[in-house]
């Protein structure tokens, strides 16, 4: 028997952060004085100097080169929704035909990509090309590996020559600062003199589909749009719910293990993975982290999912609704706020009825969501999410909040009491009365998967966000609206305390007022039910049926006033984003419609015509020998009628597409696509999908849903 030991598989603890220039690595490699000064920069207590940057750049370069890096890039998030990179090598001429590996503090602090080709929404003209990337000291640099080499990626902000934010990071950082400022002021008024910072934390859950790569490449719609514009659900779909949390297929397990290894090495704390409800649908959740770092991490998650899937012979689909009639994919943003010491402001300390601080911050979020439902809906408004929201197991397009029966009863009691004391609320234990099973501690609330915004014990879960979206925009809006309400609460607390109320009594009175005014947004029932839409309308809750209805919420006067008051967006920045999102909606629908027309014209109609001709020939041959040809003739007539219908609907799609593409004003153009092109696409799909159901499988030109969803 051989005694040779097999190589040990690296453990998560030995892998984690090996390709991340984290604070712990910097503490080891930087002089103590420089590291302390950098920490002060990260916490906002000092400005970054070139002296500090030079030392950090030297250490970062040496660390990266030791691990095989030859290039560096300022890695940023333009308003395309993707990450962007421009790679520069470390080489610098040293005379006599030699080079050295160099990286300066100036190169670390600032880069200069061409800004003219990124979306700006009118903030700059095409000929105004200069843009800057600025090192984000709060998000660690990391190494990206590929078959051809290693690149040092430095997270950066992206701004124009005139200082306008051209990315998703700058507003997110501003919203985090605004929330910190408002929250610390409230804590001081409540008597907390020790907390120095309030940190916004986010834990994203990423849903996605995996399909066979060879089949994927035969579907132009999947390749070009990320979703199937045609396709019929097979006899077995997700109705048995046998995929959810089922045993992970071996091929997918191998993919997930490599995915985890890649993410862990870059410092992304991938935690939970499982089968989702639809066939070939999966989910990955990441451990909570600072909102800015979490947003960067989620971009890496999406990119790495696609890259690793390809290595395993699969294609990853991040679209919100890649398959009609099946569950779509969301990105659940678990959002909370904590002090720098780790005290979660949305987690009650013992009995919630006795924790005034918790009650105040908790109802502040409720008030912020109710008063700014339109902005939160707009933050999740995309063409892809329009296909998902209100569909199979997806939240409706109405913002509501689930907090659970116990907390509802507590706040009702507090609002009705004369002394500001609510009824005691204890979660207790669950006794299953079965031998061998322990009593389980109960959470404060059940979970409501139908709610777009649910409290889950120490955080709120924003479930409306689409799977392909950046975490940054919804996190920015959520932090901003809560910061604004906390600023108002600070004013109200000051007035009540100045009038003689104790901080505790003043806070509880504000909680009662907020609950009475905003209880309408609380809903604990089935958010998927059609009855809820009628109830929401009765309550006066806004409903936005499409992205085109929601996006203008960004530029309402009250929204612009709030953003500018907090310093999260300038008027020009938020107006530009509304333009970009509307233009992106129109362009996405234009691409989908074009792909649809091309598939029908070049592949589906010719295939259907050939099949009809074959049937006609078979019917004629049968008739010539006196055999019964009625079934072939009937099917031939049916196929011919569907071909004619599809052809007519294709002509209508061509017409409305030409009309919409000629509209220049962004909102009017987006409306033209939503109101004209989308219905025409749906009508054409109906005819083509019916045609697919009656066409010989050997004739149909594209892989079917059954092949895509039940094979890897």
In a domain, 415, yes or no: yes
pLDDT at 96 over 80: no
Amino acid 239: pLDDT:
73
| Rama region for 461: left / alpha / beta (φ>0; ψ in -120 to 50; rest) | beta
Amino acid 5: pLDDT:
47
pLDDT in tens, 654-668: 999 999 999 999 999
pLDDT at 516 over 90: yes
**Do 105 and 37 fall within a single domain?**
yes
Question: Residue 638 sits in which domain range?
Answer: 585-709
Quick one: pLDDT band at residue 7, thresholds 50, 70, 90?
Answer: low
pLDDT at 175 over 60: yes
The DSSP output letter for 130 is B
In a domain, 525, yes or no: yes
Amino acid 1: pLDDT:
42
Identify which has the larger pLDDT, 491 or 44: 491
691 within 8 A of 647, measured Cβ to Cβ? no
440 within 8 A of 429, measured Cβ to Cβ? yes
pLDDT in tens, 204-220: 999 999 999 999 999 99
Q: How many CB atoms lie within 10 A of CB 147?
A: 5
Report the distance separating Cα 257 and Cα 312, nearest Å: 11
Stretch 609-614: mean pLDDT: 91
pLDDT at 631 over 90: no
In a domain, 541, yes or no: yes
pLDDT at 277 over 70: yes
Stretch 32-39: mean pLDDT: 96
The CATH number of the domain holding residue 329 is 3.30.590.10
Helix residue spans in 519-629 (DSSP H): 530-539, 547-550, 557-566, 571-599, 605-624
Residue with tokens 């995915």: 259
In a domain, 575, yes or no: no
Amino acid 423: pLDDT:
61
Amino acid 424: pLDDT:
61
**Do 528 and 651 fall within a single domain?**
no
The CATH number of the domain holding residue 695 is 1.20.120.1560
**Do 34 and 18 fall within a single domain?**
yes
pLDDT at 314 over 50: yes
In a domain, 323, yes or no: yes
Report the distance separating Cα 349 and Cα 543, nearest Å: 36
Residue 263, token pair as written in the block: 């993410």
472 within 8 A of 157, measured Cβ to Cβ? no
**Do 533 and 633 fall within a single domain?**
no
Amino acid 101: pLDDT:
82
**Do 128 and 181 fall within a single domain?**
no
Quick one: pLDDT band at residue 531, thresholds 50, 70, 90?
Answer: confident
Quick one: pLDDT band at residue 2, thresholds 50, 70, 90?
Answer: very low
Distances 656 to 68, 178, 548, 593, 664 between C-alpha atoms, Å? 54, 45, 17, 10, 15
* Domain-terminating residue out of 537, 569, 601: 569
Looking at the chain, the whole-number percentage of residues with pLDDT higher than 90 is 73
**Do 266 and 205 fall within a single domain?**
yes
Quick one: pLDDT band at residue 36, thresholds 50, 70, 90?
Answer: very high
pLDDT in tens, 317-375: 999 999 999 999 999 999 999 999 999 999 998 888 889 999 999 999 999 999 999 99
Amino acid 539: pLDDT:
94
Helix pair angle (630-661, 605-624), 10° resolution:
160
**Do 344 and 461 fall within a single domain?**
yes
Amino acid 418: pLDDT:
59
**Do 563 and 593 fall within a single domain?**
no
In a domain, 574, yes or no: no
Q: What is the mean pLDDT of the chain?
A: 91
3-state secondary structure of 203: strand
**Do 456 and 560 fall within a single domain?**
yes
The model scores a pTM over 0.85: yes
In a domain, 579, yes or no: no
470 within 8 A of 77, measured Cβ to Cβ? yes
pLDDT in tens, 382-398: 999 999 987 666 777 88
Report the distance separating Cα 198 and Cα 393, nearest Å: 34
- CA-closest candidate to residue 589, choices 512, 525, 670, 659: 670
**Do 531 and 675 fall within a single domain?**
no
465 within 8 A of 388, measured Cβ to Cβ? no
Stretch 529-534: mean pLDDT: 86
Amino acid 247: pLDDT:
86
Quick one: pLDDT band at residue 130, thresholds 50, 70, 90?
Answer: confident
Identify which has the larger pLDDT, 492 or 124: 492
Quick one: pLDDT band at residue 623, thresholds 50, 70, 90?
Answer: confident
3-state secondary structure of 23: helix
* Domain-terminating residue out of 148, 167, 186: 167
What is the number of structural domains in the chain? 3
Quick one: pLDDT band at residue 142, thresholds 50, 70, 90?
Answer: very high
Amino acid 220: pLDDT:
97
| Rama region for 280: left / alpha / beta (φ>0; ψ in -120 to 50; rest) | left
In a domain, 212, yes or no: yes
The CATH number of the domain holding residue 63 is 3.10.20.70
pLDDT at 264 over 70: yes
Amino acid 592: pLDDT:
98
pLDDT at 460 over 80: yes
Residue 534, token pair as written in the block: 């009628």
The DSSP output letter for 84 is B
Stretch 94-117: mean pLDDT: 83
| Type and span of the H or E element at 482 | helix 472-498
**Do 349 and 487 fall within a single domain?**
yes
**Do 250 and 360 fall within a single domain?**
yes
Stretch 439-447: mean pLDDT: 68
* Domain-terminating residue out of 113, 145, 167: 167
Amino acid 113: pLDDT:
79
């Amino acid at each position: 028997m051989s005694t040779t030991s097999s190589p040990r598989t690296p453990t998560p603890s030995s892998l984690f952060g090996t390709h991340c220039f984290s604070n712990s690595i910097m503490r080891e490699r930087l002089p103590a004085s420089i590291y302390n000064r950098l920490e002060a920069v990260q916490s906002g207590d000092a400005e970054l100097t070139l002296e500090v940057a030079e030392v950090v750049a030297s250490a970062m370069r040496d660390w990266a080169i030791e691990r095989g890096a030859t290039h560096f890039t300022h890695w940023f998030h333009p308003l395309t929704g993707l990450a962007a990179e421009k790679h520069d090598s470390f080489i610098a001429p040293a005379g006599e035909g030699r080079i050295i590996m160099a990286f300066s503090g100036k190169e670390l602090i600032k880069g200069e990509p061409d800004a003219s080709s990124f979306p700006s929404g009118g903030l700059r003209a095409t000929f105004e090309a200069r843009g800057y990337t600025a090192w984000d000291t709060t998000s660690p640099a990391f190494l990206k590996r590929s078959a051809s080499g290693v690149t040092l990626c430095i997270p950066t902000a992206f701004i124009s020559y005139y200082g306008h934010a051209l990315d998703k990071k700058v507003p997110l950082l501003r919203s985090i600062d605004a929330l910190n400022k408002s929250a610390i002021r409230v804590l001081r008024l409540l008597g907390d003199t020790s907390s120095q910072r309030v940190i916004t934390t986010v834990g994203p859950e990423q849903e996605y589909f995996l399909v066979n790569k060879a089949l994927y490449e035969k579907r132009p719609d999947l390749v070009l749009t990320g979703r199937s514009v045609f396709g019929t659900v097979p006899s077995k779909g997700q109705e048995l719910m046998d995929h959810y949390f089922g045993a992970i297929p071996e091929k997918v397990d191998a993919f997930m293990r490599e995915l985890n290894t890649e993410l862990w090495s870059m410092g992304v704390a991938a935690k939970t993975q499982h089968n989702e409800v639809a066939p070939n649908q999966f989910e990955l959740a990441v451990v909570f982290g600072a909102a800015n770092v979490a947003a960067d991490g989620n971009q890496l998650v999406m990119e790495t999912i696609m890259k690793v899937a390809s290595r395993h012979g699969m294609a990853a689909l991040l679209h919100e609704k890649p398959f009609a009639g099946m569950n779509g994919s969301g990105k659940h943003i678990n959002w909370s706020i904590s002090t720098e010491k780790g005290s979660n402001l949305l987690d009650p300390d013992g009995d919630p009825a006795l924790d005034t601080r918790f009650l105040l911050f908790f109802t502040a979020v409720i008030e912020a969501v109710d008063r700014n439902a339109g902005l939160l809906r707009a933050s999740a408004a995309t063409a892809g999410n329009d296909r998902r929201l209100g569909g199979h197991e997806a939240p409706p397009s109405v913002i509501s909040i689930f907090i659970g029966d116990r907390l509802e009863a507590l706040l009702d009691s507090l609002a009705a009491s004369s002394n500001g004391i609510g009824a005691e609320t204890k979660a207790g234990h669950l006794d299953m009365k079965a031998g061998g099973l322990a009593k389980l501690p109960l959470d404060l609330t059940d979970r409501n998967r139908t709610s777009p915004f649910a409290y889950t014990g120490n955080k709120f879960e924003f479930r409306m966000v689409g799977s392909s979206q950046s975490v940054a925009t919804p996190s920015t809006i959520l932090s901003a609206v809560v910061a604004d309400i906390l600023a108002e609460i600070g004013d109200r607390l000051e007035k009540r305390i100045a009038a003689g109320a104790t901080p505790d009594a003043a806070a509880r009175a504000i909680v009662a007022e907020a609950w009475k005014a905003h209880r309408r947004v609380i809903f604990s029932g089935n958010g998927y039910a059609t009855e809820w839409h009628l109830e929401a309308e009765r309550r006066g809750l806004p409903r936005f049926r499409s992205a085109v209805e929601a996006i203008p919420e960004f530029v309402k006067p009250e929204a612009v006033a709030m953003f500018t008051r907090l310093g999260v967006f300038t008027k020009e920045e938020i107006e530009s984003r509304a333009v970009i999102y509307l233009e992106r909606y129109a362009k996405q629908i234009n691409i989908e419609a074009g792909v649809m027309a091309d598939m029908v014209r070049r592949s589906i109609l010719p295939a259907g015509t050939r099949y009809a001709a074959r049937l006609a020939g078979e019917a004629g041959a049968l008739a010539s020998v006196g055999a019964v040809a009625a079934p072939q003739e009937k099917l031939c007539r049916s196929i011919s009628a569907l071909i004619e219908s599809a052809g007519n609907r294709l002509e209508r799609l061509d017409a409305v597409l030409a009309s919409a593409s000629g509209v220049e004003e962004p909102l009017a153009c987006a409306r033209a696509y939503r109101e004209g092109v989308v219905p025409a696409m749906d009508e054409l799909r109906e005819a083509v999908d019916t045609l697919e159901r009656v066409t010989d499988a050997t004739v149909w030109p594209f892989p079917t849903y059954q092949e895509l969803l039940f094979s890897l």
